[in-house]
Amino acid sequence: MLMIGVLVSGRGSNLQAMIDAIEAGKLKAQVAVVISNVPGVMALERAKKHGIKAVVVNDREFSDKSSYEKEIIRALESNSVDLVCLAGYMKLISPEFVRHFKGRMMNIHPALLPAFPGLHVQKKALEHGVKYSGATVHFVDEGCDTGPIIIQAAVPVLDDDTEETLSARILEQEHKIYPEAIRLYAEGKLKIEGRRVKIGK
């Protein structure tokens, strides 16, 4: 059984999508622990509602990033986590953290990477006049949203779209492709070759 650790900072809708896929029998995995750097967020409540261990590691309570991340690593390892999933986790990961979980950490991004990494991506997409945006699940590397791409889903950009309407339609796709990427990982079907992720049958 694949044991997942989920890092969150907010509402946790992608966490909920993972939980729903597991409970529906579509994903053979278990969320072992949910870790938030922000106390009191909805993601923690979602975890508790489903009987999942919920932990707060408040970055503001640590003197430096290294000691903060060491505590997160300790929490992940003490819960026997195989795969780390970032789900709305609003902290940059250090190279040391990435190396510790190399090939075992995923993120979801609300754009078709490599276009529009970072923040405010729907605003950037609308300003650039793109005809399609979407979502990307990728392995985490030492850059910002630069890791090998696992799955993408395209979403048409409508003439009357706002940041809010585009974000909402992209989020629907995020909830589909993130559990699917985890399923492929759990079944041993993902192979990283340089910048490419090959999906086996």
Distances (CA, A) of 5 to 53, 82, 149, 168: 10, 8, 20, 25
In the block, tokens 């969150």 appear at 8
Which residues are annotated as catalytic? 109
Both tokens assigned to 170:
């992209």
